[in-house]
Protein backbone atom coordinates (compact mmCIF):
# COMPACT_ATOMS: atom_id res chain seq x y z
CA UNK A 1 0.00 0.00 0.00
CA UNK A 2 2.77 2.44 0.93
CA UNK A 3 4.51 1.63 -2.37
CA UNK A 4 1.53 3.00 -4.27
CA UNK A 5 1.55 6.06 -2.03
CA UNK A 6 5.14 6.71 -3.06
CA UNK A 7 4.42 6.34 -6.76
CA UNK A 8 1.20 8.35 -6.45
CA UNK A 9 3.14 11.10 -4.70
CA UNK A 10 5.59 11.19 -7.62
CA UNK A 11 2.79 11.47 -10.17
CA UNK A 12 1.05 14.24 -8.22
CA UNK A 13 4.30 16.11 -7.64
CA UNK A 14 5.23 16.06 -11.32
CA UNK A 15 1.70 17.10 -12.31
CA UNK A 16 1.69 20.03 -9.87
CA UNK A 17 5.17 21.12 -10.96
CA UNK A 18 4.23 20.98 -14.64
CA UNK A 19 1.02 22.92 -14.02
CA UNK A 20 2.80 25.69 -12.14
CA UNK A 21 5.67 25.91 -14.63
CA UNK A 22 3.22 26.26 -17.51
CA UNK A 23 1.46 29.11 -15.70
CA UNK A 24 4.68 31.10 -15.20
CA UNK A 25 6.22 30.30 -18.59
CA UNK A 26 7.98 33.38 -19.88
CA UNK A 27 7.19 35.44 -16.78
CA UNK A 28 10.13 37.12 -15.00
CA UNK A 29 10.48 37.23 -11.23
CA UNK A 30 8.93 33.80 -10.57
CA UNK A 31 11.95 32.19 -8.92
CA UNK A 32 9.90 31.16 -5.89
CA UNK A 33 7.55 29.08 -8.06
CA UNK A 34 10.54 27.46 -9.77
CA UNK A 35 12.05 26.51 -6.40
CA UNK A 36 8.69 25.05 -5.38
CA UNK A 37 8.45 23.02 -8.58
CA UNK A 38 12.03 21.76 -8.16
CA UNK A 39 11.14 20.78 -4.60
CA UNK A 40 8.11 18.77 -5.73
CA UNK A 41 10.00 16.99 -8.50
CA UNK A 42 12.89 16.14 -6.17
CA UNK A 43 10.75 14.90 -3.28
CA UNK A 44 8.53 12.91 -5.65
CA UNK A 45 11.54 11.21 -7.26
CA UNK A 46 13.09 10.62 -3.86
CA UNK A 47 9.98 8.92 -2.50
CA UNK A 48 9.69 6.80 -5.66
CA UNK A 49 13.34 5.68 -5.48
CA UNK A 50 12.90 4.83 -1.79
CA UNK A 51 9.92 2.57 -2.55
CA UNK A 52 10.89 -1.03 -1.68
CA UNK A 53 10.32 -2.43 -5.20
CA UNK A 54 12.64 0.20 -6.68
CA UNK A 55 15.33 -0.33 -4.03
CA UNK A 56 15.13 -4.08 -4.57
CA UNK A 57 15.44 -3.69 -8.35
CA UNK A 58 18.40 -1.30 -8.06
CA UNK A 59 20.16 -3.64 -5.61
CA UNK A 60 20.72 -6.15 -8.42
CA UNK A 61 22.95 -3.77 -10.37
CA UNK A 62 24.37 -1.37 -7.78
CA UNK A 63 28.20 -1.62 -7.39
CA UNK A 64 28.02 -0.71 -3.70
CA UNK A 65 25.37 -2.13 -1.36
CA UNK A 66 22.53 0.31 -0.62
CA UNK A 67 23.70 2.80 -3.26
CA UNK A 68 20.07 3.17 -4.36
CA UNK A 69 19.26 4.35 -0.84
CA UNK A 70 22.00 6.99 -1.12
CA UNK A 71 20.45 8.22 -4.39
CA UNK A 72 16.97 8.36 -2.84
CA UNK A 73 18.26 10.16 0.25
CA UNK A 74 20.19 12.55 -1.97
CA UNK A 75 17.01 13.45 -3.86
CA UNK A 76 15.21 14.07 -0.56
CA UNK A 77 18.04 16.34 0.55
CA UNK A 78 17.86 18.16 -2.78
CA UNK A 79 14.14 18.69 -2.15
CA UNK A 80 14.90 20.18 1.26
CA UNK A 81 17.51 22.41 -0.38
CA UNK A 82 14.95 23.85 -2.80
CA UNK A 83 12.38 24.25 -0.02
CA UNK A 84 14.89 26.25 2.01
CA UNK A 85 15.62 28.35 -1.08
CA UNK A 86 11.89 29.03 -1.41
CA UNK A 87 11.75 30.30 2.16
CA UNK A 88 14.77 32.54 1.61
CA UNK A 89 13.28 33.91 -1.65
CA UNK A 90 10.16 34.92 0.29
CA UNK A 91 11.96 36.55 3.21
CA UNK A 92 15.09 38.00 1.55
CA UNK A 93 14.99 37.67 -2.25
CA UNK A 94 18.24 39.58 -2.83
CA UNK A 95 20.13 37.16 -0.58
CA UNK A 96 18.80 34.00 -2.27
CA UNK A 97 21.74 33.47 -4.70
CA UNK A 98 24.23 33.59 -1.84
CA UNK A 99 22.06 31.20 0.18
CA UNK A 100 21.93 28.80 -2.77
CA UNK A 101 25.72 28.80 -3.15
CA UNK A 102 26.38 28.32 0.54
CA UNK A 103 23.83 25.56 1.08
CA UNK A 104 24.67 23.99 -2.29
CA UNK A 105 28.22 23.50 -1.06
CA UNK A 106 26.80 22.11 2.15
CA UNK A 107 24.66 19.67 0.17
CA UNK A 108 27.65 18.51 -1.89
CA UNK A 109 29.75 18.08 1.24
CA UNK A 110 27.00 16.21 3.08
CA UNK A 111 26.44 13.82 0.16
CA UNK A 112 30.18 13.19 -0.16
CA UNK A 113 30.48 12.42 3.54
CA UNK A 114 27.44 10.13 3.39
CA UNK A 115 28.95 8.30 0.41
CA UNK A 116 32.22 7.72 2.29
CA UNK A 117 30.40 6.49 5.41
CA UNK A 118 28.16 4.15 3.41
CA UNK A 119 30.93 2.61 1.30
CA UNK A 120 33.19 2.04 4.32
CA UNK A 121 30.42 0.48 6.40
CA UNK A 122 30.11 -3.29 6.23
CA UNK A 123 26.54 -3.53 4.94
CA UNK A 124 24.49 -5.72 2.68
CA UNK A 125 21.35 -4.68 0.88
CA UNK A 126 18.26 -4.84 3.05
CA UNK A 127 14.98 -3.00 3.08
CA UNK A 128 15.20 -2.85 6.87
CA UNK A 129 18.40 -0.78 6.63
CA UNK A 130 17.95 1.47 9.69
CA UNK A 131 16.97 -1.27 12.14
CA UNK A 132 19.55 -3.72 10.80
CA UNK A 133 22.59 -1.38 11.02
CA UNK A 134 21.83 1.04 13.85
CA UNK A 135 24.64 -0.67 15.82
CA UNK A 136 27.22 0.55 13.25
CA UNK A 137 28.55 4.07 14.04
CA UNK A 138 29.23 4.74 10.35
CA UNK A 139 25.63 4.00 9.40
CA UNK A 140 24.36 6.10 12.29
CA UNK A 141 26.68 8.89 11.14
CA UNK A 142 25.31 8.54 7.61
CA UNK A 143 21.74 8.90 8.91
CA UNK A 144 22.72 11.78 11.22
CA UNK A 145 24.22 13.78 8.34
CA UNK A 146 21.16 13.09 6.20
CA UNK A 147 18.58 14.16 8.75
CA UNK A 148 20.59 17.09 10.09
CA UNK A 149 20.85 18.59 6.60
CA UNK A 150 17.10 18.20 6.09
CA UNK A 151 16.40 19.80 9.47
CA UNK A 152 18.62 22.78 8.65
CA UNK A 153 16.76 23.40 5.38
CA UNK A 154 13.32 22.91 6.94
CA UNK A 155 14.12 25.39 9.70
CA UNK A 156 15.44 27.81 7.05
CA UNK A 157 12.10 27.56 5.25
CA UNK A 158 10.16 28.12 8.47
CA UNK A 159 12.28 31.16 9.30
CA UNK A 160 11.63 32.56 5.84
CA UNK A 161 7.85 32.17 5.78
CA UNK A 162 7.24 32.85 9.48
CA UNK A 163 7.12 36.63 9.11
CA UNK A 164 5.23 36.45 5.82
CA UNK A 165 2.59 34.16 7.32
CA UNK A 166 1.69 36.73 9.98
CA UNK A 167 0.69 39.20 7.27
CA UNK A 168 -1.50 36.84 5.25
CA UNK A 169 -5.20 36.84 5.89
CA UNK A 170 -7.67 34.00 6.07
CA UNK A 171 -8.07 33.80 2.30
CA UNK A 172 -7.14 30.93 0.05
CA UNK A 173 -3.49 32.03 -0.17
CA UNK A 174 -3.14 32.22 3.60
CA UNK A 175 -4.80 28.84 4.12
CA UNK A 176 -2.62 27.25 1.44
CA UNK A 177 0.53 28.63 3.03
CA UNK A 178 -0.56 27.28 6.39
CA UNK A 179 -0.93 23.80 4.87
CA UNK A 180 2.64 24.06 3.58
CA UNK A 181 3.85 25.18 7.01
CA UNK A 182 1.97 22.31 8.67
CA UNK A 183 3.66 19.89 6.27
CA UNK A 184 7.03 21.41 7.12
CA UNK A 185 6.42 21.08 10.87
CA UNK A 186 5.48 17.44 10.36
CA UNK A 187 8.62 17.05 8.23
CA UNK A 188 10.71 18.35 11.13
CA UNK A 189 9.08 15.77 13.40
CA UNK A 190 9.75 13.07 10.80
CA UNK A 191 13.42 14.04 10.54
CA UNK A 192 13.78 14.20 14.32
CA UNK A 193 12.16 10.78 14.77
CA UNK A 194 14.14 9.13 11.98
CA UNK A 195 17.44 10.72 13.02
CA UNK A 196 17.27 10.19 16.77
CA UNK A 197 16.02 6.62 16.65
CA UNK A 198 19.25 5.02 15.30
CA UNK A 199 21.39 7.23 17.54
CA UNK A 200 19.49 6.04 20.62
CA UNK A 201 19.83 2.45 19.45
CA UNK A 202 23.60 2.89 19.00
CA UNK A 203 24.07 4.44 22.44
CA UNK A 204 21.71 2.30 24.50
CA UNK A 205 21.67 -0.90 22.47
CA UNK A 206 17.90 -0.82 22.66
CA UNK A 207 16.01 -0.84 19.37
CA UNK A 208 13.10 1.58 18.95
CA UNK A 209 11.78 -0.23 15.90
CA UNK A 210 8.00 -0.36 15.60
CA UNK A 211 5.69 -2.63 13.66
CA UNK A 212 4.09 0.45 12.08
CA UNK A 213 5.92 2.33 9.30
CA UNK A 214 6.00 5.60 11.27
CA UNK A 215 8.65 7.31 9.15
CA UNK A 216 7.06 6.41 5.81
CA UNK A 217 3.62 7.44 7.06
CA UNK A 218 4.85 10.82 8.31
CA UNK A 219 6.65 11.40 5.02
CA UNK A 220 3.52 10.63 2.99
CA UNK A 221 1.39 12.96 5.13
CA UNK A 222 4.00 15.72 4.73
CA UNK A 223 3.87 15.30 0.97
CA UNK A 224 0.07 15.43 1.00
CA UNK A 225 0.00 18.65 3.06
CA UNK A 226 2.58 20.28 0.77
CA UNK A 227 0.60 19.33 -2.33
CA UNK A 228 -2.67 20.63 -0.86
CA UNK A 229 -1.06 23.90 0.20
CA UNK A 230 0.67 24.46 -3.13
CA UNK A 231 -2.44 23.80 -5.23
CA UNK A 232 -5.11 25.34 -3.00
CA UNK A 233 -5.06 28.63 -4.89
CA UNK A 234 -5.94 26.73 -8.08
CA UNK A 235 -8.96 24.76 -6.83
CA UNK A 236 -9.82 26.39 -3.51
CA UNK A 237 -11.69 29.29 -5.09
CA UNK A 238 -13.98 26.89 -6.95
CA UNK A 239 -14.77 24.90 -3.81
CA UNK A 240 -15.56 27.98 -1.72
CA UNK A 241 -17.60 29.71 -4.46
CA UNK A 242 -21.00 28.34 -3.25
CA UNK A 243 -20.22 29.41 0.32
CA UNK A 244 -19.22 32.90 -0.84
CA UNK A 245 -22.43 33.08 -2.87
CA UNK A 246 -24.56 32.18 0.18
CA UNK A 247 -22.79 34.75 2.36
CA UNK A 248 -23.16 37.45 -0.30
CA UNK A 249 -26.87 36.65 -0.77
CA UNK A 250 -27.46 36.85 2.98
CA UNK A 251 -25.61 40.17 3.23
CA UNK A 252 -27.50 41.50 0.20
CA UNK A 253 -30.85 40.73 1.81
CA UNK A 254 -29.81 42.29 5.12
CA UNK A 255 -28.82 45.64 3.60
CA UNK A 256 -31.65 45.69 1.08
CA UNK A 257 -34.16 47.71 3.24
CA UNK A 258 -31.62 50.49 3.75
CA UNK A 259 -30.63 50.50 0.09
CA UNK A 260 -34.27 50.73 -1.04
CA UNK A 261 -34.93 53.69 1.24
CA UNK A 262 -31.87 55.55 -0.03
CA UNK A 263 -32.48 54.72 -3.68
CA UNK A 264 -36.11 55.85 -3.44
CA UNK A 265 -34.90 59.23 -2.20
CA UNK A 266 -31.94 59.46 -4.60
CA UNK A 267 -32.47 57.34 -7.74
CA UNK A 268 -29.29 58.76 -9.25
CA UNK A 269 -27.10 56.65 -6.97
CA UNK A 270 -27.96 53.46 -8.88
CA UNK A 271 -25.10 52.14 -10.98
CA UNK A 272 -26.36 51.12 -14.40
CA UNK A 273 -24.62 47.88 -15.38
CA UNK A 274 -25.59 44.77 -17.22
CA UNK A 275 -26.77 41.65 -15.49
CA UNK A 276 -24.12 39.16 -14.41
CA UNK A 277 -24.24 35.41 -14.33
CA UNK A 278 -26.12 33.79 -11.39
CA UNK A 279 -23.21 32.88 -9.08
CA UNK A 280 -20.83 35.85 -9.49
CA UNK A 281 -23.84 38.16 -9.97
CA UNK A 282 -24.75 38.02 -6.28
CA UNK A 283 -21.31 39.14 -5.15
CA UNK A 284 -21.24 41.86 -7.78
CA UNK A 285 -24.72 43.03 -6.76
CA UNK A 286 -23.57 43.25 -3.13
CA UNK A 287 -20.54 45.26 -4.22
CA UNK A 288 -22.81 47.63 -6.14
CA UNK A 289 -25.22 48.03 -3.20
CA UNK A 290 -22.40 48.92 -0.82
CA UNK A 291 -21.04 51.55 -3.21
CA UNK A 292 -24.50 53.01 -3.79
CA UNK A 293 -25.26 53.24 -0.07
CA UNK A 294 -21.91 54.93 0.59
CA UNK A 295 -22.52 57.36 -2.27
CA UNK A 296 -25.94 58.22 -0.83
CA UNK A 297 -24.45 58.77 2.63
CA UNK A 298 -21.95 61.26 1.24
CA UNK A 299 -24.63 63.08 -0.72
CA UNK A 300 -27.01 63.25 2.26
CA UNK A 301 -24.58 64.36 4.97
CA UNK A 302 -25.52 68.03 4.79
CA UNK A 303 -29.26 67.27 5.08
CA UNK A 304 -29.10 65.78 8.60
CA UNK A 305 -30.07 68.10 11.47
CA UNK A 306 -27.03 69.10 13.61
CA UNK A 307 -28.69 67.60 16.71
CA UNK A 308 -29.62 64.27 15.11
CA UNK A 309 -26.83 62.32 16.81
CA UNK A 310 -27.75 63.83 20.19
CA UNK A 311 -31.41 62.97 19.68
CA UNK A 312 -30.47 59.33 19.35
CA UNK A 313 -29.49 59.39 23.02
CA UNK A 314 -26.28 58.75 24.96
CA UNK A 315 -26.80 54.98 25.10
CA UNK A 316 -27.18 54.50 21.34
CA UNK A 317 -24.51 52.32 19.75
CA UNK A 318 -22.61 53.54 16.64
CA UNK A 319 -24.80 51.57 14.23
CA UNK A 320 -27.95 53.14 15.73
CA UNK A 321 -26.43 56.62 15.55
CA UNK A 322 -25.52 56.15 11.90
CA UNK A 323 -29.00 54.84 11.12
CA UNK A 324 -30.51 57.83 12.94
CA UNK A 325 -28.35 60.26 10.96
CA UNK A 326 -29.53 58.66 7.73
CA UNK A 327 -33.16 58.88 8.84
CA UNK A 328 -32.76 62.58 9.70
CA UNK A 329 -30.92 63.23 6.44
CA UNK A 330 -33.70 61.64 4.40
CA UNK A 331 -36.23 63.86 6.15
CA UNK A 332 -34.14 66.94 5.36
CA UNK A 333 -33.63 65.84 1.76
CA UNK A 334 -37.36 65.19 1.28
CA UNK A 335 -38.10 68.79 2.35
CA UNK A 336 -35.11 70.33 0.56
CA UNK A 337 -33.56 71.52 3.82
CA UNK A 338 -29.75 71.64 4.12
CA UNK A 339 -28.08 72.29 7.45
CA UNK A 340 -24.45 72.20 6.35
CA UNK A 341 -23.44 69.88 9.20
CA UNK A 342 -20.86 67.22 8.33
CA UNK A 343 -21.67 64.20 10.44
CA UNK A 344 -18.82 61.65 10.50
CA UNK A 345 -19.72 58.06 9.69
CA UNK A 346 -18.24 54.95 11.28
CA UNK A 347 -14.87 53.98 9.82
CA UNK A 348 -14.61 50.26 8.92
CA UNK A 349 -12.09 48.17 7.03
CA UNK A 350 -12.11 48.81 3.30
CA UNK A 351 -13.28 45.32 2.37
CA UNK A 352 -16.56 44.05 1.00
CA UNK A 353 -17.05 41.72 3.95
CA UNK A 354 -16.49 44.41 6.60
CA UNK A 355 -18.49 47.07 4.76
CA UNK A 356 -21.48 44.79 4.15
CA UNK A 357 -21.46 43.50 7.75
CA UNK A 358 -21.46 47.06 9.10
CA UNK A 359 -24.19 48.26 6.75
CA UNK A 360 -26.30 45.22 7.70
CA UNK A 361 -26.18 46.40 11.32
CA UNK A 362 -27.11 49.94 10.26
CA UNK A 363 -29.97 48.61 8.12
CA UNK A 364 -31.33 46.56 11.02
CA UNK A 365 -31.29 49.58 13.34
CA UNK A 366 -32.77 51.80 10.63
CA UNK A 367 -35.75 49.47 10.29
CA UNK A 368 -36.37 48.54 13.92
CA UNK A 369 -34.65 50.84 16.47
CA UNK A 370 -36.91 53.11 18.54
CA UNK A 371 -34.13 55.71 18.62
CA UNK A 372 -34.27 55.99 14.85
CA UNK A 373 -38.04 56.43 14.93
CA UNK A 374 -37.65 59.20 17.51
CA UNK A 375 -34.97 61.00 15.50
CA UNK A 376 -37.08 60.79 12.32
CA UNK A 377 -40.05 62.27 14.18
CA UNK A 378 -38.02 65.10 15.70
CA UNK A 379 -36.30 65.87 12.39
CA UNK A 380 -39.71 66.09 10.70
CA UNK A 381 -40.97 68.43 13.40
CA UNK A 382 -37.95 70.70 13.04
CA UNK A 383 -38.12 70.94 9.28
CA UNK A 384 -41.89 71.55 9.17
CA UNK A 385 -41.92 73.89 12.15
CA UNK A 386 -44.33 71.71 14.05
CA UNK A 387 -43.92 70.70 17.67
CA UNK A 388 -42.74 67.16 18.18
CA UNK A 389 -45.24 64.84 19.86
CA UNK A 390 -44.73 64.81 23.60
CA UNK A 391 -43.70 61.24 24.42
CA UNK A 392 -41.86 59.91 27.41
CA UNK A 393 -38.79 59.29 25.23
CA UNK A 394 -38.79 62.74 23.68
CA UNK A 395 -39.12 64.79 26.88
CA UNK A 396 -35.44 64.69 28.01
CA UNK A 397 -34.27 66.00 24.61
CA UNK A 398 -34.39 69.85 24.34
Q: What is the DSSP letter of 302?
A: G
Determine phi and psi for 264, rounding to 5 degrees: -65, -35
d(CA 219, CA 163): 26
Its sign, for the CA torsion 261, 267, 269, 270, is positive
CA angle 263, 269, 273 (to 5 degrees): 105
How far is CA 224 from each of CA 41, 170, 227, 295, rounded to the nearest angstrom?
14, 21, 5, 48
Q: Hey, how many other C-beta atoms are within 10 angstroms of the C-beta on 289?
A: 24
What are the mean pLDDT values of the chain's consecutive 10-residue runs (398 residues total)? 59 70 65 82 83 87 89 90 87 87 94 92 84 85 90 86 64 68 78 73 68 59 72 60 79 90 85 48 84 88 87 88 90 86 73 87 91 91 66 40
Q: What is residue 196's predicted lDDT score, i.e. its pLDDT?
A: 72
Q: Are the C-beta atoms of residues 388 and 337 closer than 8 Å to each other?
A: no
Give the three-state DSSP class for 92: coil
Percent of the chain that is helix, strand, coil (3-state, to 5) = 75, 0, 25
Amino acid sequence: MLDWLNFGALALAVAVAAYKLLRIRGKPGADGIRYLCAFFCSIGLGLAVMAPPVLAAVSRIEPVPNLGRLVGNGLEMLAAYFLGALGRSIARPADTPRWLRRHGLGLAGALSLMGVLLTTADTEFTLNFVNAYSHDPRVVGYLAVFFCYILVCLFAFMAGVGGYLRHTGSGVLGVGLRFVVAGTILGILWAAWSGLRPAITLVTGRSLATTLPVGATLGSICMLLWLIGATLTAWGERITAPLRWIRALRALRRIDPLWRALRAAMPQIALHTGRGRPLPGVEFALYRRVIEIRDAQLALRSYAHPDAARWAGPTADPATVEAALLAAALVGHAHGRRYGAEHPFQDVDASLESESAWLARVARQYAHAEEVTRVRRLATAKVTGEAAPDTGQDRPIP
